Homo-oligomer: A and B are copies of this chain.
Amino acid sequence: MFNNHSFEFRSQSVSKGDYIFRQGEAANYVFMLISGKIRLERHLSDGQILIIHQTSQQESFAEAALFSDFYHCDAKAVKDVKIEVISKNTILTKISNDPEFAISFVELLAKQVQSYRNRLQISFIRSAEERILAALKLGIEIESVIEFSGAVGLTHEACYRSLSKLVKSKQVVKIRRGKYRLAG
C-alpha cells in the first residue's frame, strides 16, 4: 500500500535469523517489507513462542505500534529481507494530509482486525483436525509443520498426526516433506 505514495524512508537489509526489532524496544518506526520473509512473534511466560504474524508479501508491519511507545513482539527475518523503515511521524502526517492514503491505511487495519478475529476463531476450535482444516481454509499455508503449529497453537506432534490423518481421508494433499495443501 505504500507503493503509490512518496515517502521519506530509508531502505535496510536484514540477514536471515536477525531481528528487526525486539519486544520491549522503543517503537519509533513502522516497516514495509520489500522482499524476503518476516515473522512477528511473542514470547509467552511458559517459554512457548506465539507467531503473531508472518508474511513474505509486500506489506507493512508494526502499524499497531503507531500509538504505542514500545513494540509488543519481536520482528525476525525468516529469510534475508529488504525493508523500508518509516518513522511514525511521517505516517501520521501522511494520514492527516493525504485522504487517499488515510482511507487505504484504515482499510489495511480493518482487514487486519478481521484476520485476527478469524485466527481467534480457529484457536477456539478444540479438535486438532478441524482446527487445521479451518486454518487451511483461512489461507494459512503450511510450508513447515513446526512453523504452522506455532500459528495454530498446537504442538508439532499433534500437527504431524492430524495432517497424516487428513491426508489419509483425502481432505489434505501432501505436496512434499513438510508442505501441505487443502484437497480439491
Contact = CB atoms under 8 A, between A and B. Distances in A.
A174 B119 CA distance: 32
Interface stretch (A9-17, A44-52, A78-86, A159-167): A44-52
Interface extent on A, as a size class?
35 or more
Given A52-B120, A130-B45, A153-B124, A105 B106 contact: yes
A54 interface: no
Interface stretch (A31-39, A61-69, A139-147, A176-184): A61-69
A38 to B, nearest CB: 16
Interface in A84-141: 92, 95-97, 99-100, 102-103, 105-107, 109-114, 116-117, 119-121, 123-127, 130, 134
